Amino acid sequence: MPDTDSRLPVGFEGLEPLVSEWALDTQTQREIKRLRSTPEEIRGFYNAVMPRIRDILDEVDRFPIGELPEPHARLFALAFSLAEVAPNVELYGGDIQVTHNFDERRFDARHGDHPSPKGLAAR
Amino acid sequence: MQQTHVPRWAERYPGLGTEPLPVDSYTSPDHYALEQEKVFKKAWLIVGRVEEVPKAGDFKIKRIAVARTSVILMRGRDGEIRAFHNVCSHRANQVVAEKGEETFGRSPAATMFCGFHGWVYNAKGELINVPQEQSFYDCFEKKSAGLTQVHTGIWNGFVFINFSVSPRETLEENMREFDAHLGAYPFHDITYQFTYAAVLDCNWKVALDGFSEIYHLSHLHARTLPGSFTEGFEAIKLLGDHRTSALYLDTAAEFTELQKISNSYAVVSLMVQKGGSMLPPTINPERKANFGFELSPVFPNTIIHCTDGIWFTHQFWPVGYNRVLWEGKYYLRKPRTNSQMWAAHHAQTITRNVWLEDAGTLESTQKGLESGAKTHLILQDEEILLRHSHHILGKYINA
């Protein structure tokens, strides 16, 4: 889904430069992005978004699940990417991998291609 | 070595012994063949949840390599879920096309239609239409040419199958003690689902064992779960073929910045102290505030874990003597707001990372077992769930 529009809701314009790289819809896309990043890149992203995470969550909570306008969906996708990289920054010393002896791409997330900001379909 | 504490579990369950376990059952193709015939074709196996096939005509097909078949579960118009081999009575083609290890679908007419020659079966497995029926010979009888049925049973929303012609025990008999312990847990209320799967080059019991002890938590998961759980299981109970135990959180554990924020939005998380308001009285009976989760292996290849508002399962499906399909399914209460949903995904990311760390040991363990370097595995008292699992396995194999 090539989305060239990178506008975010009012008040979050400062995060717009992150949108094209990090506003990713699905868990699988975010995991691949982490694995293709450098430790400096994930730390830079974490440092930029972390101070705004409570504001982001409060902003998206103005809407019901699945009904976010496009700029809010992009903002929310940044929050999901923060969740994806945070353990690596906070717990693994910036290492982009979770483990060194198992290739995590072999671990197939059957929900992994579902757009997270819309909520997973309950089965 | 000097014994510094009383082996509490071995003392409580002396019948399980304390000796090292031989490695043959992990490395022998002959032992695997015995497991196929005497365990996986005789025991009750969890293959789904009733919520996966909510309406008449809904179906799930699950491949079960260890039994060399695929099973189709379909809910009929009468509400009943039945299981059949996904094999046409005509010339044994797959009746319903499969898309992977698990295939979900819906037949509005609640029928199954073979794509090869167009034979049609209803949800009771009866053959109801055969194109050019008049061209078949007198020895062909439609009413005796239905799908081959597999026994099914339902316990607390879990759909079980049993491949034996006449199971030694009913599911109810087999699950009686387990039911007394976990029968009141509301699995059906908690349906927001994450699912992972991986095929690993190890014996299925290597994977099952890895998830059946918590001795490894403070080492293998030191990065992802620093100091999160207390040492050792509580409340181990043997429940017939099955067993249960409980983990408690270490109240001194420190959370990261994002975890603290996430915990403040989360409705539920494995890392947050819960106490257990919605748990049945059998689980965390003292209502300790630092209850983590109940870990309950169901023989032969499933572990059910549950806590307040979250439950998850691991299943280990043998593919060969040294290959396994591992499926991890994680369920939580449906989030009501975007921030709750984000917190749920954040907590789930931590869980995924723990599972990845678990995966990292399994293939190298199999290599070690196959090296021939060791003839036996040494178990400590806190690894008694593994011992019970091998004990029950032996009971089935020697039956």
- Whether residues B356 and A50 touch (CB distance < 8 A) is answered with no
Whether residue B360 sits in one domain with residue B238: yes
Q: Are B246 and B283 in contact (CB under 8 A)?
A: yes
Q: Is B345 on the interface with A (CB under 8 A)?
A: yes
In a domain, B342, yes or no: yes
**Same domain, residue pair B105 and B224:** no
**A-contacting residues in B 304-333 (Cβ below 8 Å):** none
Give me B323's structure tokens: 């290959």
> In this structure, what CATH number is given to the domain that contains residue B356?
3.90.380.10
* Record: contact A122-B193, CB cut-off 8 A: yes
| Domain boundary pick from B135, B166, B197 | B166
The answer on B153 and B114 residing in a single domain is yes
Q: Could you read off the pLDDT of A42-60 as tens digits, one per residue?
A: 999 999 999 999 999 999 9
Provide, as residue numbers in chain A, all residues whose Cβ is less than 8 Å from the Cβ of B334: 122
User: What DSSP character marks residue B98?
Assistant: -
- Which secondary-structure segment (H or E) carries A72? helix A70-90
Do B245 and B346 lie in one domain? The reply is yes
| DSSP H stretches of helix in chain B | 8-12, 24-27, 29-35, 171-174, 176-182, 204-210, 217-220, 257-265, 338-370, 384-397
| CA gap B249, B274 in Å, rounded | 10
Residues B293 and B328 in one domain: yes
Domain that holds residue B93: 45-166
Q: Do B47 and B71 meet the contact criterion of CB atoms below 8 Å apart? A: yes
Residue B34 lies in a domain: no
Domain termination site, one of B128, B146, B166: B166
Number of domains in chain B: 2
Q: Is B255 on the interface with A (CB under 8 A)?
A: no
Helix (H/G/I), strand (E/B), else coil: A20: helix
Tens of pLDDT along chain B (399 residues) come to 555 566 888 889 989 999 999 999 999 999 999 999 999 999 999 999 999 999 999 999 999 999 999 999 999 999 999 999 999 999 999 999 999 999 999 999 999 999 999 999 999 999 999 999 999 999 999 999 999 999 999 999 999 999 999 999 999 999 999 999 999 999 999 988 899 999 999 999 999 999 988 778 777 887 787 767 777 777 899 999 999 999 888 877 778 888 888 888 877 666 665 555 788 889 988 888 888 889 999 999 999 999 988 999 999 999 999 999 999 999 988 889 999 999 999 988 999 999 999 888 999 999 999 999 999 999 998 899 999 999 999 999 999
Calpha distance A34→B101 (Å, rounded): 28
Which residue out of B342, B363, B366 would a mutagenesis test of the A interface target, given it has the greatest number of A Cβ atoms within 10 Å?
Answer: B342
Judge: A122–B224 Cβ closer than 8 Å, yes or no: no
- Residue B229 and residue B112 share a domain: no
Q: Check whether residue B157 and residue B187 sit in a common domain.
A: no
Of the pLDDT bands very low, low, confident and very high (cuts 50, 70, 90), residue A1 is: very low
Torsion of CA B24, B27, B32, B38, to 10 degrees: 30
Q: What tokens were used for B276?
A: 């257990």
H-helix or E-strand containing B296? strand B291-298
Of B166, B191, B207, which residue constitutes the final position of a domain? B166
d(CA A35, CA A29): 10
Q: Are residues B60 and B114 in the same domain?
A: yes
Give me B87's structure tokens: 């094999």
DSSP strand pairing (B158-162 vs B21-22): unpaired
Nearest to A122 among B191, B259, B262 (CB): B191
Torsion of CA B157, B209, B247, B299, to 10 degrees: 30
Lookup result for tokens 């196959």: B370
Between chains, do B341 and A119 touch, taking CB under 8 Å as contact? yes
Q: Is residue B33 part of a domain?
A: no
Residues B99 and B208 in one domain: no
pLDDT at position B5, please?
66
In the predicted structure, residue A122 carries a pLDDT above the cut 90: no
Bond preceding residue B300 cis, omega within 30 of 0: yes
Could you tell me the CA-to-CA distances from B351 to B129, B299, B341 in Å, in that order? 49, 24, 15
Which CATH number covers residue B152? 2.102.10.10
Q: Does an H or E element contain A53, and which?
A: helix A53-60
B250 inside domain: yes
Whats the size of chain A, residue-wise?
123
Question: Residue B1 falls within a domain, yes or no?
Answer: no
DSSP state of B37: I
Q: What ipTM is given for this predicted complex?
A: 0.94
Same domain, B323 and B233: yes
Instruction: Measure the CA–CA gap between A40 and A37, rounded to whole angstroms.
Output: 8
For residue B161, give the H/E element and its range.
Answer: strand B158-162
* Structural Rg of chain B based on CA atoms: 23
- So what's the pLDDT on residue B220? 81
Do both B258 and B118 map to the same domain? Answer: no
In a domain, B5, yes or no: no
Contact residues, chain A, for B363 at CB < 8 Å:
102
Tell whether B30 is covered by a domain. Answer: no
Share of chain A above pLDDT 70, in %: 94
Please tell me the predicted confidence (pLDDT) of residue B117.
93
Give the pLDDT confidence score for residue A21 in this predicted structure: 97
Of A64, A107, A123, the CB nearest to B356: A107
At A54, give phi and psi (nearest 5°): -65, -40
Instruction: Give the torsion through C-alpha atoms of B49, B54, B60, B62, to 10 deg.
Output: 0
Q: Where do we find the tokens 């036996």? A: B376
Cα B195 from Cα B375, distance rounded (Å): 36
Q: CB distance A91–B256 less than 8 Å? A: yes
Helix (H, G, I), strand (E, B) or coil at B313: strand
How far A2 CA sits from the closest chain B CA (Å)? 24
Do B275 and B316 fall within a single domain? Answer: yes
Which of A111, A113, A116 to probe the B interface (max B CBs under 10 A)?
Answer: A111
pLDDT of residue B224: 81
Closest residue of chain B to A65, computed from CA coordinates: B338
Judged by phi (left if over 0) then psi (alpha if -120 to 50, else beta), residue B132 lies in left
